[in-house]
Amino acid sequence: MEDEGRIWRELLGILETVEKAVIIHYGSYETTFLRRMSERHGKPPKGSIVAETIEVTVNLVFSNAR
């Protein structure tokens, strides 16, 4: 569990380097994971690129595809 915080911070650091990053996933596991890690190890700064990326993940299972 002690490595979990380090890994979370590394992920946030990587996301900061990706221009217009989009997290695409299937189902709710990833959004649950992102929320849980934010609660345990700190959210990215509000309004940051990383915070926006996490807030607008794309769930292909529950998308409103028309």
pLDDT tens figures, 17-52? 999 899 999 999 999 999 999 999 999 999 999 999
Task: Report the C-alpha dihedral over residues 31, 17, 60, 39, rounded to 10 degrees.
Answer: 0
Intra-chain end-to-end CA distance of the chain, in Å: 42
3 — pLDDT class (breaks 50, 70, 90): very high
Instruction: Parse the chain into domains and list their residue ranges.
Output: 2-59
What is the value of pTM for the model shown?
A: 0.77
pLDDT tens figures, 50-66? 999 999 999 999 766 54
Kindly tell me the sign of the dihedral angle through the C-alpha atoms of 11, 27, 46, 3.
negative
Q: At what angle do helices 29-41 and 2-17 cross, to 10 degrees?
A: 110
